[in-house]
Chains A and B, each alone.
Chain A
């Protein structure tokens, strides 16, 4: 098991907002113009042929977007291209994108896309995305996929052997837990009295559910787990960790049959339902990420299976009551879900060439490192080898392991439908409307239709 991460971060009391502010305040270019923390910045040639062009991008309103937005004047200075970010919440992104993508060549509203990892097959196979292999080959090394962590490329870059996307930033999931409680002798003693065993980091999914359930029974004012079982996206993202941690998957390796209703799939569903119903906060069955974050940040939960960025939120000085008391480790069982955002050029883009200039710039080693230093999670490998970056974010060494071992969703065209199907049936299992076996059987029947 990878060493728990975050303890050093806790000591340093780092958080993303502070980092962003500090980076902006000090000038992001400080020390990055020539040598980037020991790594020579590769000069990327950018064209001024598109001067006066305005690029429109639909972006999720989160830190990575803000970081890039703060760097945009630099891009304008180099190319004369104005970039306009339309920032929205995640829930409406796909609804806004799809009609634009289907508008036909050059007729869309967005020039460059930011895509979540489970839209990549659907968008590429629908013929909405421009294959990027030729552009990459002709970029003279400006865009080089060998710079990226291979697992991220597998998750959200290549579809059917063609490169449609460039990774933007990964968001691995793992086990976040309270170090103050884990190391507290009173808490350990109370746990032993309740569970009849020592409080140790669980090495399997079943052991985690058992531990979280016992913590909830302890009457110590904390729930064993803060969970997000609202359908459809939250419950499926969380469940993936249980499934992958047990070694299961949605389909067989040949992608010919669903395996979600095999022994492991049913066990994963049962353990997940048990965890929601016996170990999590009240209302976890209808909770989303914000609810889970509220529960955890108020110090009401011992652990949560969540995203890497939640570790930063938990250690946020402004809003967290458990700041500096949290660490993160890989999902018990050794493998969790890794999501990823990536860039792409839609066929409907009115300015694909100017959009490509933007991609060359934003994914250049120099900008990738600036983004990382400002609090982003790099998809490229180089920042993880950068001493300044690791000194600033020591837990990122382990984060890279989580990303590298992580797994995305199966390669079906309609991954969003897969998430909807699984969300509906899992919710049914969690709410007691059906058994784990019956629920997964019903899910498997629908998943087969997606092949």
Chain B
């Protein structure tokens, strides 16, 4: 027995047996682990892979609901026609303008408000935070309807306020030069709360030592923020940007409620044009192709941002 083993017995003789035993045990555990992931993989395959695969399959076939079921394989025709279409180019440009605008504005506002909320000794912090988080609790459709009323050109509160201040009333949603800015403004009102939650969580979890050390060394608040807080916070800011950017690229609800893509195509986003292809023209193949194009665009942006985050973390 191993317990009665004498010192003269070479240790090496027992090692292979022990190694083999632990290796087989590890192997068994791995097998058990793999077995336990099967239900998850099956669930993922059902809820993610199958719909995606089906959509991909549809996107390379002729599929117009008014012409019966799924038609012949047509390769990349749906993709080519979608990209070549003038409306897709307009929608892509609108989506880019909208996404960049809302993310930049929300990031700046949320960062500023989070820094204020994180000030040491701030009274009524909970009250401020609760008020700031209210928009986050409202559904996008309700937000759209609320702002549709507030911005009503004739009976809306915003124009009433403007005229009270002797400023000219505006047609917020029906003019090309104001419609996109209006949707961006409403989104900023709605979604900045999410950014605040993320950034504030990041700020409160930052180590205090480097910040206090920089102040002891004589740095003022701006210098401390720029040289210590901001670099430490950068991974959190990138995550917040990533989350909001992906959501902004897919925006559909606000456009649907506020402008229906108008006037003309001034506020038509890619998601809205996909909805139109699917439910107005009933061209499911084209809609699926446009969906995949949007997916590819988002994937590329996500990869770029994740790499950027990796670089930032490495630098940190």
* Chain A interface (Cβ < 8 Å from any Cβ of B): 94-95, 98, 102, 122, 125-127, 229-232, 281-287, 291, 294-295, 300, 413-414, 416-417, 420, 423-425, 427-428, 430-434
A-B contact pairs, 27 of them (CB 8 A): A98-B279, A98-B282, A125-B66, A126-B68, A127-B68, A230-B262, A231-B260, A231-B262, A281-B153, A282-B154, A282-B159, A283-B153, A283-B174, A286-B262, A286-B263, A413-B66, A414-B66, A420-B281, A424-B264, A428-B264, A431-B174, A431-B262, A431-B263, A431-B264, A431-B266, A432-B176, A433-B264
B139: min CB distance to chain A, Å? 16
Taking the complex as formed, is B171 at the interface, i.e. its CB lies under 8 A from any CB of chain A? yes
What residues of A have a CB within 8 angstroms of the CB of B153 in the complex? 281-283, 286
Most chain B beta-carbon contacts within 10 A, residue among A126, A282, A283, A300: A283
Cα(A417)–Cα(B263), bound, Å: 17
B173 pairs with A286, CB closer than 8 A: yes
B262: min CB distance to chain A, Å? 4
B174 pairs with A232, CB closer than 8 A: no
Cα(A283)–Cα(B174), bound, Å: 7
Cα(A63)–Cα(B258), bound, Å: 27
Cα(A434)–Cα(B260), bound, Å: 19
Taking the complex as formed, is B231 at the interface, i.e. its CB lies under 8 A from any CB of chain A? no
A427 pairs with B66, CB closer than 8 A: no
Taking the complex as formed, is B221 at the interface, i.e. its CB lies under 8 A from any CB of chain A? no
What residues of A have a CB within 8 angstroms of the CB of B266 in the complex? 431, 433
A104: min CB distance to chain B, Å? 9
A-contacting residues, B125-165, CB 8 Å: 152-155, 159
What residues of B have a CB within 8 angstroms of the CB of A127 in the complex? 68
A98 pairs with B176, CB closer than 8 A: no
Q: A431 and B260 in contact (CB under 8 A), knowing A295-B154, A417-B281?
A: no
Most chain B beta-carbon contacts within 10 A, residue among A232, A423, A427: A427
Given A94-B279, A126-B65, A428-B265, 16 new contacts (CB under 8 A): A98-B282, A102-B65, A122-B282, A126-B66, A230-B174, A231-B260, A282-B171, A283-B171, A285-B174, A294-B154, A294-B155, A413-B66, A414-B66, A424-B264, A425-B264, A431-B176
A231 pairs with B263, CB closer than 8 A: yes
Taking the complex as formed, is B6 at the interface, i.e. its CB lies under 8 A from any CB of chain A? no
Taking the complex as formed, is B261 at the interface, i.e. its CB lies under 8 A from any CB of chain A? yes
Cα(A300)–Cα(B282), bound, Å: 40
A291: min CB distance to chain B, Å? 7
A-contacting residues, B177-211, CB 8 Å: none
B294: min CB distance to chain A, Å? 20
A320: min CB distance to chain B, Å? 16
What residues of A have a CB within 8 angstroms of the CB of B226 in the complex? none
B175 pairs with A230, CB closer than 8 A: no
A289: min CB distance to chain B, Å? 14
B154 pairs with A433, CB closer than 8 A: no
Cα(A417)–Cα(B154), bound, Å: 31
What residues of B have a CB within 8 angstroms of the CB of A94 in the complex? 279
Cα(A102)–Cα(B261), bound, Å: 27
B283: min CB distance to chain A, Å? 9
A-contacting residues, B24-54, CB 8 Å: none
Contact with A along B270-313 (1 / 0, CB 8 A): 00000010011110000000000000000000000000000000
Taking the complex as formed, is B67 at the interface, i.e. its CB lies under 8 A from any CB of chain A? yes
Most chain A beta-carbon contacts within 10 A, residue among B173, B261, B264, B279: B264
Cα(A321)–Cα(B81), bound, Å: 52
Cα(A126)–Cα(B68), bound, Å: 7
Query: Which listed residue (B67, B261, B263) contacts A433, Cβ 8 A?
Result: B263
Cα(A403)–Cα(B119), bound, Å: 70
B174 pairs with A420, CB closer than 8 A: no
Query: Which listed residue (A291, A416, A428) contacts B152, Cβ 8 A?
Result: A291
A118: min CB distance to chain B, Å? 11
What residues of B have a CB within 8 angstroms of the CB of A428 in the complex? 263-265
A285 pairs with B281, CB closer than 8 A: no
Q: Which residue of A is nearest B284, CB measured?
A: A102
A72: min CB distance to chain B, Å? 30
What residues of A have a CB within 8 angstroms of the CB of B241 in the complex? none
Taking the complex as formed, is B259 at the interface, i.e. its CB lies under 8 A from any CB of chain A? yes
What residues of B have a CB within 8 angstroms of the CB of A281 in the complex? 153-154
A246: min CB distance to chain B, Å? 23
A231 pairs with B261, CB closer than 8 A: yes
A285 pairs with B175, CB closer than 8 A: yes
B262 pairs with A427, CB closer than 8 A: yes
Q: Which residue of B is nearest A281, CB measured?
A: B154
B279 pairs with A230, CB closer than 8 A: no
Query: Which listed residue (B65, B152, B264) contacts A427, Cβ 8 A?
Result: B264
Q: A424 and B262 in contact (CB under 8 A), knowing A94-B279, A229-B174, A414-B282?
A: yes
Query: Which listed residue (B65, B169, B171) contacts A286, Cβ 8 A?
Result: B171
B278: min CB distance to chain A, Å? 9
Q: Which 10 A-B pairs have the closest CB atoms?
A: A283-B153, A286-B174, A428-B264, A285-B174, A431-B263, A126-B66, A282-B153, A231-B262, A286-B173, A427-B263
Cα(A232)–Cα(B268), bound, Å: 13
Query: Which listed residue (B172, B175, B280) contacts A416, Cβ 8 A?
Result: B280
Cα(A69)–Cα(B153), bound, Å: 37
A222: min CB distance to chain B, Å? 12
Q: Which residue of A is nearest B280, CB measured?
A: A420
B65 pairs with A417, CB closer than 8 A: no
Cα(A431)–Cα(B280), bound, Å: 23
Q: Which residue of B is nearest A298, CB measured?
A: B155
A126 pairs with B176, CB closer than 8 A: no
Query: Which listed residue (B169, B265, B281) contacts A424, Cβ 8 A?
Result: B265
B189: min CB distance to chain A, Å? 19
What residues of A have a CB within 8 angstroms of the CB of B263 in the complex? 231, 285-286, 427-428, 430-431, 433
